[in-house]
């Protein structure tokens, strides 16, 4: 049994051979802010979201992710007087007519913070980051934003959840089971009324996790994660839109993988969608924009990998709140 914990920690370091070290999200289109800090302050209100993801239900020790995010814009011209970028007199902010007259948002800043907790087996990683972004209109209808996320990653190894033949197993003996590491993320986001393109990186500062005083066992490392996302909005009727999107993920030395999503919105109040994640899952999604204050989304992943023999699928829920929503928009204008 002594090799059990050693094997587990080594697998943690190379887990990218089958997945990424950071959490994955089926509804990334609903909160791209989780993977790209350049989105900070993109909307004209304070955006709050809370999410819960129970991955591979039925499999003991499978990942469980919870998060809380808050972001808000800064800049009076954008918040109070950016009339050319706002809908008028109750007009649907992402309707076909509004999209045709869309103007780039006024230059402004954004600030926010994210708290993400991801538990897999006896290891829990929690990331606490403050984010900042600057948004600039480079043409009459195109904005580009750059952003940064900085904070701390807390990694905890719960040894009470591990059964060992030898209580003084050298893989964890005299080691640090509670560690704090610096965390840094970067991103760029270009967006207009119909499309968006983003490039971002997480865990920019690689770290070695020292669970043992014996260097032989300290082979668990964090590595940078790179993302490229893009989407385009089509109208098939005045009140029905389609948003296909894609996200590429690269984690060295893992081959590049990707997610493909399709979201259909009805009057920007109800939406349904589907997703395909390479060599992992297909998913069904649905959501509702209840009011100018509240929205939520749900996704269910059908596991397609070899884990489908022990997994009952994955559940993901997101609850969103829009504060200081002066224009009372129901559907996000630039967050989609």
Question: How do residues 153-167 score in pLDDT, each as one tens digit?
Answer: 998 888 777 776 666
Question: What is the third-level CATH fold of 18-323?
Answer: Porin (2.40.160)
Residue 74 is predicted with a pLDDT of 93
CA atoms of 99 and 87, how far apart (whole Å):
10
Q: Are 271 and 287 in contact (CB under 8 A)?
A: yes
pLDDT computed for residue 191 by the predictor: 94
pLDDT above 70 (res 131): yes
Phi then psi for residue 327, to 5 deg, are: -90, 0
| Residue burial 175-212, b: 16+ Cβ < 10 Å; e: rest | beeebebebbbbbbbbbbbbebebbbbbbbeebebbbb
pLDDT in tens, 247-297: 999 998 888 899 999 999 998 789 999 999 988 899 999 999 999 899 999
- Tens of pLDDT, residues 10-57: 434 433 334 467 898 999 888 999 999 999 999 989 999 999 999 998
For the chain, what are the domain ranges?
A: 18-323
As a whole number of angstroms, the distance between CA 192 and CA 198 comes to: 12
pLDDT value at position 334? 72
3-state helix, strand, coil in the chain (%, to 5): 15, 45, 40
- Report the DSSP beta bridge partners of residue 144: 136, 190
Least confidently predicted of 154-163, 186-195, 200-209, 210-219: 210-219
109 or 122, greater pLDDT: 109
Q: State mean pLDDT over 203-218.
A: 76
């Amino acid at each position: 049994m002594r090799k059990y914990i050693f094997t587990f920690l080594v697998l943690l370091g190379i887990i990218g051979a089958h997945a990424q070290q950071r959490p994955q999200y089926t509804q990334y289109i609903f909160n791209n802010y989780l993977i790209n800090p350049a989105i900070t302050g993109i909307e004209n209100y304070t955006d709050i979201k809370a999410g819960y993801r129970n991955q591979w239900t039925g499999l003991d020790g499978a990942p469980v992710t919870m998060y809380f995010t808050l972001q808000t814009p800064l800049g009076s011209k954008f918040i109070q007087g950016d009339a050319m970028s706002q809908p008028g007199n109750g007009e649907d902010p992402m309707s076909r007519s509004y999209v045709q007259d869309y103007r780039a948002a006024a230059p402004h800043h954004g600030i926010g913070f994210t708290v993400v907790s991801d538990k897999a087996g006896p290891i829990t990683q929690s990331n606490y980051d403050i984010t900042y972004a600057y948004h600039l209109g480079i043409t009459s209808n195109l904005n580009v934003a750059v952003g940064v996320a900085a904070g701390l990653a807390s990694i905890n190894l719960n040894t009470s959840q591990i059964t060992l033949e030898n209580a003084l197993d050298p893989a964890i003996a005299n080691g640090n089971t509670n560690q704090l590491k610096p965390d840094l993320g970067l991103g760029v986001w270009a967006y207009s009324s119909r499309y968006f393109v983003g490039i971002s990186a997480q865990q920019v500062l690689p770290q070695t996790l020292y669970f043992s005083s014996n260097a032989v066992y300290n082979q668990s490392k964090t590595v940078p994660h790179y993302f490229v996302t893009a989407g385009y909005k089509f109208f098939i009727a005045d009140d029905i839109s389609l948003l296909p999107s894609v996200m590429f993920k690269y984690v060295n030395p893992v081959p590049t993988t990707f997610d493909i999503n399709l979201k259909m919105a009805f009057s920007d109040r109800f939406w349904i969608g589907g997703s395909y994640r390479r060599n992992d899952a297909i998913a069904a999604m649905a959501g509702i924009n209840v009011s100018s204050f509240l929205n939520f989304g749900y996704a269910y992943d059908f596991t397609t990998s070899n884990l489908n023999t022990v997994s009952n699928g994955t559940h993901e829920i997101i609850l969103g709140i829009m504060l200081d929503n002066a224009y009372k928009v129901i559907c996000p204008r630039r967050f989609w």
